[in-house]
Amino acid sequence: MKKNTSDLSQTQRALNIWAIVLILWSVYRSIFKTDLPVWFDEFIAKPAIFLIPIYYFITRYENGNVLKRLDISFKNALGDISIATLVGVLMFGFAALISSSQGHNIIWPSIGVLVFTIIVSLASSISEELLARGFILKRLYEESHNVISAVFVASILFFLTHIPIVFSSPQYYGASLIMIMVSDLLFSFAVSFIYLLRKNVLVPIVIHLFYILIIYILFSPLG
């Protein structure tokens, strides 16, 4: 018997929104791959595909404050951002040690390129973390009150949203492709637990920024 959409829980509706985002993002990547400028991907395409459905869901089904329903809090922002920055710096240092032990030379980009990369990475982090943590993980945990199951499901969904870009990027293949896929999954598990501890999506956004910089600076084919 077909289930009436009015009988769906808020979490089921949220997962439907996530599925729509994944489909739209997959179609976008299958058509354009990485041919368009990265600024267009991260400042226009990704926010439109990731955030507009979220905004629609919150205003249509939850009738709540969008910032609150995404756990965007500026009350203790300085402390939360400081913690996230510390975690990010430690991650970068640990990754640098691993990269050096493998004989990779760290090639730092120019100041202009680095600033542009940070800005673009921040934009990417905002879109992805609002969907993965502020939207999906928050609702999974609110319904189940089970940290392990909520983190597990949210991390798998986070991993799946990265499949389109990973397989459409020619620089990732073989061992590097496997490394990126595994690191995405492990990163999501770790940052999900941290998010549930702090209850502020600003924390995973900042940590995610460092994660992208680690991949770009330390483990890109140029490094």
pLDDT in tens, 97-122: 988 887 777 778 899 999 999 999 99
Query: Per-residue pLDDT averaged across 76-98, rounded?
Result: 94
Query: Per-residue pLDDT averaged across 154-179, rounded?
Result: 81
**Which range scores top for mean pLDDT: 106-115, 159-168, 171-180, 197-206?**
197-206
Residue 5 has pLDDT above 60, yes or no: no
Higher-pLDDT residue of 194, 64: 194
pLDDT band of 133, cuts 50, 70, 90: very high
Task: Give the amino acid at 183.
Answer: S
Distances (CA, A) of 18 to 68, 79, 80, 89, 178: 19, 30, 27, 31, 24
Distance between the two ends of the chain, CA-based, in angstroms? 55
pLDDT band of 172, cuts 50, 70, 90: low
Q: For residue range 10-47, list pLDDT tens digits in order.
A: 899 999 999 999 999 999 999 998 889 999 999 999 99
Distances (CA, A) of 176 to 29, 121, 173, 215: 20, 20, 6, 10
Residue 88 has pLDDT above 80, yes or no: yes
pLDDT band of 222, cuts 50, 70, 90: very low
Give the whole-angstrom CA distance, residue 32 versus residue 201: 30
Task: Give the amino acid at 10.
Answer: Q
Q: Give pLDDT, residue 158.
A: 97
Higher-pLDDT residue of 131, 170: 131
Give the whole-angstrom CA distance, residue 188 versus residue 166: 16
Report the C-alpha dihedral over residues 205, 54, 117, 103, rounded to 10 degrees.
60
User: By the 8 A CB rule, do 157 and 16 touch?
Assistant: no
Q: Give pLDDT, residue 3.
A: 53
Query: Per-residue pLDDT averaged across 85-102, rounded?
Result: 90
Q: Give pLDDT, residue 63.
A: 86
Give the whole-angstrom CA distance, residue 190 versus residue 185: 9
Residue 223 has pLDDT above 50, yes or no: no
